[in-house]
């Protein structure tokens, strides 16, 4: 059973959007400081329970500390994510309402998916979900959000021509902000320092950019395929191979980076060659 000090530190750490390993490092470091403070108070004549309570009081309010650490790690990201969530929700309801008004029908599926991703981002931003690996969840939600609203750009094209430029501008802002937040979230790496930090940032920059290109190319060719075939075909599943391979090798590179940096670099080169080769093969075959 965890002590009061351990539960206190855990509440602080849970408010940060770090990976499991980063949270563990942060947890150990803060717990050591708290225990040292508690030991000093015991030496001054306080009982262990009194010393623990006093050390926690001196450390500060856990919610305020967690919020300060989060803001230091991800400056202005909370405000940007709130803006993204609210603008996205307003955009969705505006497009859906105008579709109903102009066409008498609308894309209910897109409405549900877009509201779901926006609501998930809002929940993560407001710390309503604290017991999960929030960094991974936030970037997953941002990637999904980007894809959903990329489709939403096409949905808005069905509106009256005079309205489309305005909605195109709004959706462009939503997409650019989503991509920016994906980079901003991935490139905060508190468990890395010095050369390893620079290598980790280069690895994430390369992989995120490659992933965006792969997904964009896949969506484009699937769209072209559907235009000419007008029906779903099992062959279309082959277009998911580059994305699956990219995800697998991305995770492998991260795992290898700290203990085997050279192997991680080789994996990066192999990933680029393999993914690009498969993409070109599939598209040439098509």
Q: Dig out the tokens for 133 from the structure.
A: 């690996």
Check: CB of residue 259 under 8 Å from CB of residue 267: no
Split the chain (286 residues) into runs of 10 and give each run's mean pLDDT: 83 80 84 89 86 86 83 84 92 84 75 88 76 75 87 73 77 91 85 80 88 80 69 68 83 84 84 77 64
Residue 19 makes CB contacts below 8 A (sequence gap 6+) with: 133, 135, 136, 191
- 3-class DSSP state for residue 125? helix
As a whole number of angstroms, the distance between CA 248 and CA 54 comes to: 48
pLDDT of the residue at 149: 86
pLDDT of the residue at 131: 57
pLDDT of the residue at 236: 67
Check: CB of residue 177 under 8 Å from CB of residue 63: no
pLDDT of the residue at 95: 82
pLDDT of the residue at 108: 81
CA torsion 117-123-129-130 (nearest 10°) is 120
pLDDT of the residue at 252: 87
pLDDT of the residue at 51: 86
pLDDT of the residue at 219: 76
Phi, psi of 158 (to 5 degrees): -80, -10
DSSP 247-259: HHHHHHHHHHHTT
pLDDT of the residue at 231: 64
Check: CB of residue 98 under 8 Å from CB of residue 163: yes
* The model's pTM: 0.76
pLDDT of the residue at 243: 81
């Amino acid at each position: 059973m965890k002590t009061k000090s351990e539960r206190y530190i855990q509440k602080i750490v849970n408010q940060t959007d770090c990976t499991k390993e980063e949270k563990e490092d942060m947890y150990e470091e803060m717990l050591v400081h708290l225990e040292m403070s508690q030991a000093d108070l015991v030496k001054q004549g306080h009982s262990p329970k009194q010393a623990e309570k006093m050390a926690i009081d001196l450390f500060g309010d856990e919610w305020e500390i967690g919020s300060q650490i989060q803001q230091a790690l991800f400056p202005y990201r909370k405000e940007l994510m709130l803006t993204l969530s609210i603008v996205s929700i307003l955009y969705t309801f505006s497009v859906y309402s105008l579709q109903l008004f102009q066409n008498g029908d609308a894309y209910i599926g897109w409405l549900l998916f877009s509201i779901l991703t926006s609501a998930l981002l809002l929940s993560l931003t407001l710390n309503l979900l604290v017991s999960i690996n929030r960094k991974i969840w936030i970037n997953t939600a941002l990637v999904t959000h980007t894809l959903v609203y990329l489709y939403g750009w096409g949905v808005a094209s069905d509106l009256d021509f005079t309205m489309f430029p305005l909605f195109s501008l709004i959706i462009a802002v939503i997409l650019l902000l989503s991509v920016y937040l994906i980079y901003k979230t991935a490139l905060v790496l508190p468990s890395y320092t010095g050369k390893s930090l620079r290598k980790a940032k280069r690895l994430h920059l390369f992989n995120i950019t490659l992933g965006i290109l792969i997904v964009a190319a896949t969506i484009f060719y699937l769209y072209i395929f559907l235009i000419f075939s007008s029906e779903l075909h099992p062959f279309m599943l082959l277009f998911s191979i580059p994305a699956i391979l990219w995800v697998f090798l991305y995770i492998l590179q991260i795992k290898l980076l700290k203990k085997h940096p050279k192997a991680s670099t080789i994996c990066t080169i192999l990933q680029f060659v393999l993914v690009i080769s498969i993409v070109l093969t599939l598209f040439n075959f098509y």
